[in-house]
Amino acid sequence: MHTSRRQPNAYITVAAATALVVTLISLVYSSHLHPMTVYKVLANLLWKNATVRPPILLIAIVAGWAWVVGVCRRRLGADLEHVLGGTLQHHLSTFHAALVLFCVLLSAHLMHFMASNVPGVTWRLWLVANLGLNGIFFILGLLPCSGLFFGPSRLSLLRAVWESIIAPFGPVTFWHVIVADYMTSLANAFSDLQLAACISPHIFRSGLGSDGIYVRSTELWHDFYLTCADSYANAIGLALPFWIRLMQCLKVYSTTREGKNLWNALKYSTAFPLVYAGYLRRHEPSHFHDQCFVAAAVVQSTYCFIWDVHMDWGLFWLAELRGDSAEGYACCGGKPVVARIREPLLISQSVLAHLALCAFNLALRFIWALSVFGGVPGRGAGMLFFELVEILRRTVWAVFRIEWEVIAKVIYPSGTYKPVNMNTRRGAGEWQSLDRPLQQREAPPPIGRVLE
């Protein structure tokens, strides 16, 4: 993630991506050996089974993070780098990285389509291409050289991922929290990787059918899918990202002894009953298990939504009426009689936009929980749609999470944030300029607590 700011010249990469798309389309429509419809081509490229989706999701994550950095840099300036702990790679460079990964994906599938037009080839080209693509992405991520493929930022991300995995033994900074929270949105990608690792060996060992006739990989995948999906290993794959965040919360609590970290740990713990209920729902289908699954999804999604709005974004504050003014608090103390959206609003000044953001987050929280943990079949366009929707939610979440971190840690450091008077409204220009250096800003008196 962290490297020097620079503007990449991505025209060659854009031209290469365009050429690959045109070549792929021409090859598909000129094929007489394996004619395909548009839907079938898209299914092979995007969602047909668990070997296809992880690279797509990774590209979406990288492109989404580029958008996050671009928006936050325009709105927050140097404070973005202050809270994330280093100099950020320019967002256009990150878009360029996503485009390069997209070109790698297209190249792999182009070779698959070209080889599939050779008569008599029976070595499962499509499955080999998908597994190879996952392997290439994995190797690109682990390249030790800082001079290859956006090395400094990639190695920073790799280090943060590793330190998150070994939590609570590694450090936990705001950057680690962002990375680990993105990993929770990729919970089903971990499940997809487990399915690919479980099913693919069965397919390669199957060879020909009992009658000596070649059996298509898709048919064999369906044969082994339920066996591999209905396993403890698959449930562990879904639960692993939440375990990582749980360990991070406990690590922070062991250092700060702040009770909010235990409540945050409890939030991530609510994912485990949901994962287990989804496992029971597949393993032993019953009305009772359906009810348990829905109840667990409601508890987990509601808890996470409240935490997103109140703690991660600091949007709503309970206020106590005192004469002609009201003083807000970060906790439910005193006599709260009214709630309002906090100020300043740095990303957008529109209150309606923030209310729409809350509705957006609530809806997608519930949709994702019900789909990924057992409500939608694990293979098909439906699952890809819900996974991409969750990445979209996480991308938007990151923008406002960073906004609140800047407010709580840079503009009002050391827990000095205080909501504005309920009976006064300030325009955006009346807030202290974010372009001023941190040491030149006035810190308000230490009244109230900061919600982190």
Quick one: average pLDDT of 282-310?
Answer: 90
Quick one: average pLDDT of 119-132?
Answer: 82
- Of 62 and 208, the structure prediction assigns the larger pLDDT to 62
pLDDT, tens digit, for every residue of 303-358? 999 999 999 999 887 655 454 444 444 444 445 445 678 888 899 888 899 999 99
Query: What angle separates helix 271-283 from helix 287-307, to the nearest 10 degrees?
Result: 160
Amino acid at 227: T
Whole-angstrom distance, CA of residue 232 vs CA of residue 279: 8
Amino acid at 197: A
The model's pTM: 0.84
Whole-angstrom distance, CA of residue 299 vs CA of residue 278: 14
Contact assessment for residue 104 and residue 56, using Cβ atoms and an 8 Å cutoff: no
**What's the length of the chain?**
452
Whole-angstrom distance, CA of residue 102 vs CA of residue 176: 26
Strands 316-322 and 325-329 come out as: antiparallel
pLDDT, tens digit, for every residue of 253-269? 999 999 999 999 999 99
**Of 88-92, 213-217, 260-264, minimum mean pLDDT range:** 213-217
